[in-house]
Amino acid sequence: MNRTKVDEEEYWNSSKFKAFTFDDDDDELSQLKESKRAVNSLRDFVDDDDDDDLERVSWTGEPVGSISWSIKETAGNSGLNHEGREQLKSRNSFSSYAQLPKPTSTYSLSNFFRALSDTPAKSYAPELGRPKGEFRDYSNDWSPSDTVRRLRKGKVCSLERFRSLQDKLQLLEEAVSMHDGNVITAVLIFLKRTLSKEVLFRELEVRQVALRHLIHFLKEIGDQKLLLDLFRFLDRAEELALSHYREHLSIQDPEKRKEFLKTCIGLPFSVEDSAHIQDHYTLLERQIIIEANDRHLESAGQTEIFRKHPRKASILNMPLVTTLFYSCFYHYTEPEGTFSSPVNLKKTFKIPDKQYVLTALAARAKLRAWHDVDALFTTKNWLGYTKKRAPIGFHRVVEILHKNSAPVQILQEYVNLVEDVDTKLNLATKFKCHDVVIDTCRDLKDRQQLLAYRSKVDKGSAEEEKIDAILSSTQIRWKN
């Protein structure tokens, strides 16, 4: 300290400043100047070297520079309204004070001087502080169970405080015990980021619930590399093969996808899955050949089918049924030895008769190739006799033919092939196959139903005349 004890006592005993009273008539400027000089003189009692040892406080008793001090200081500065500022400008005394040099003391009296020089026009309600519990996440004092409960409520929690393996596993155990998939996944993401693969896999191997969640999460985000490593660690050969096979979905180039599928053929799939992988590879191989050939034929413009019905999309990567429909539409008459022949596809991929007939019927009916439709259902027995047979049922044949605007004569032919009488009458009535309805009612000897149907046909039409001729016949013994 620069001053001796004697100097300090002499200063306080001989001070020229007088105490403040409410009866003072001195002007405000003198009060301010005296207060300012008093504050500046305090610096003489404190050596600059000892500043670091002192705790600087404001007039409220709070440390200068603290958060609460800064908030109140800002609120005080903003509390001056427009009217108050105008009053300050109009006062010569305060203007003179503004010319005084700014004190270098860190002891702020701005709030005190502002209270003397201004009367605020409005008061500020005290701001309610946030509960201390809201800040506990930042103090890292949550236990694993508390952290999991807060995560379940959707609150933000930092998991970084759980550094040891024991704490991380305890956190995972708490998450699993909550039976909340979102919380379990959140904890697993944290463990995936902070643990090595070997440690993570080892610990999850004995925690099947968490393991299933991790596998599902890796599938969802498409992390095939880590998923393959996990299956390899768990010695799940079939799941490892399926996960590897799934990677073909991300390959866009047909040739590269075909080569990738070829590498999947030897993987340890089940018998059924192995057949599927082989068919997938063979189908893509066929599609590449068909696509290249048809693109050339279409660009040349010399093939009638491609001129009348231009292709709307590529055949690459299409399902087997779509490929069969495409083949029946564009390559129906090709010999069995070609890759694009429908018969070749049927035999190569062992397509059932029902699926083949249904697809071929839809393709040929769309082209209105009725002769091909007829040949599709015509079979010969060993004696050479022909017979119509439909593995999908003739009622479905009729519906597909009607959908593709087949002529009435063709519809009537196939409606007549429906074995169930009620189904036949319903289809014939629905699609206006008058001759089928009339003949069926005659065969059933149902006079009332025939009379009822007579009112549905056009007057004076051939159908009405046919009905009248049947009703007037004496050779029929009617049931009613």
Give 142's DSSP letter.
Answer: -
pLDDT at 64 over 60: no
* CA–CA gap between residue 450 and residue 431 (Å, rounded): 17
* CA–CA gap between residue 242 and residue 319 (Å, rounded): 19
* CA–CA gap between residue 428 and residue 415 (Å, rounded): 7
Q: Do 421 and 444 belong together in one domain?
A: no
Domain of residue 319, residue span: 250-351
Q: Do 256 and 344 belong together in one domain?
A: yes
pLDDT at 173 over 50: yes
Confidence at residue 121, expressed as pLDDT on a 0 to 100 scale: 45
Is the residue at 73 inside a domain? no
* CA–CA gap between residue 81 and residue 76 (Å, rounded): 11
Q: Residue 380 pairs with which residues in a beta bridge?
A: 386
Is the residue at 107 inside a domain? no
pLDDT at 336 over 70: yes
Residues 260-299: tens digit of each pLDDT: 999 888 888 888 889 999 999 999 999 999 999 999 999 9
* CA–CA gap between residue 184 and residue 190 (Å, rounded): 10
Q: What value, to the nearest 5°, has the Cα angle with vertex 429 and ends 426 and 430?
A: 80
Residues 203-236: tens digit of each pLDDT: 998 999 999 999 899 888 878 788 888 888 888 8
CB 332 within 8 A of CB 360: yes
Give 18's DSSP letter.
Answer: P
Q: Do 451 and 471 belong together in one domain?
A: yes
Is the residue at 116 inside a domain? no
Q: Do 212 and 258 belong together in one domain?
A: no
Confidence at residue 12, expressed as pLDDT on a 0 to 100 scale: 58
Confidence at residue 256, expressed as pLDDT on a 0 to 100 scale: 94
One-letter identity of residue 81 = N
Range among 267-276, 366-375, 384-393, 468-477 with highest mean pLDDT value: 366-375
What backbone phi and psi angles, to 5 degrees, belong to 378? Answer: -95, 125
Return the higher-pLDDT residue of 288 and 153: 288
What backbone phi and psi angles, to 5 degrees, belong to 376? Answer: -65, -30
Q: Do 445 and 414 belong together in one domain?
A: no
Number of domains the chain contains: 4
One-letter identity of residue 107 = Y
Q: Do 302 and 340 belong together in one domain?
A: yes
Q: Residue 388 pairs with which residues in a beta bridge?
A: 378
Q: Do 161 and 226 belong together in one domain?
A: yes
Q: Do 211 and 274 belong together in one domain?
A: no
CB 108 within 8 A of CB 64: yes
pLDDT at 372 over 80: yes
Q: Do 413 and 456 belong together in one domain?
A: no
Return the higher-pLDDT residue of 28 and 331: 331
One-letter identity of residue 353 = D
Is the residue at 226 inside a domain? yes
Q: Do 231 and 257 belong together in one domain?
A: no
Q: Residue 386 pairs with which residues in a beta bridge?
A: 380
Is the residue at 378 inside a domain? yes
Is the residue at 311 inside a domain? yes
Confidence at residue 460, expressed as pLDDT on a 0 to 100 scale: 86
Give 29's DSSP letter.
Answer: H
Is the residue at 57 inside a domain? no
Residue where the block lists tokens 């500043």: 51
| Averaged pLDDT score across all residues of the chain | 78
Token pair for residue 86? Answer: 């105008």
* CA–CA gap between residue 444 and residue 437 (Å, rounded): 10
Residues 100-146: tens digit of each pLDDT: 444 444 444 455 444 444 444 444 344 444 454 444 444 456 788 88
Please classify residue 476 by burial: count the beta carbons closer than 10 Å to its beta carbon, then call 0-12 exposed, 13-18 middle and 19+ buried. middle
Q: Which of 479, 438, 480, 440 is nearest to 456 (CA)?
A: 438
Q: Which of 53, 71, 55, 74 is nearest to 63 (CA)?
A: 55
pLDDT at 428 over 70: yes
Q: Do 167 and 201 belong together in one domain?
A: yes
Domain ends where: 392, 413, 428? Answer: 428
Q: Do 424 and 394 belong together in one domain?
A: yes
Is the residue at 88 inside a domain? no
Token pair for residue 31? Answer: 């009060």
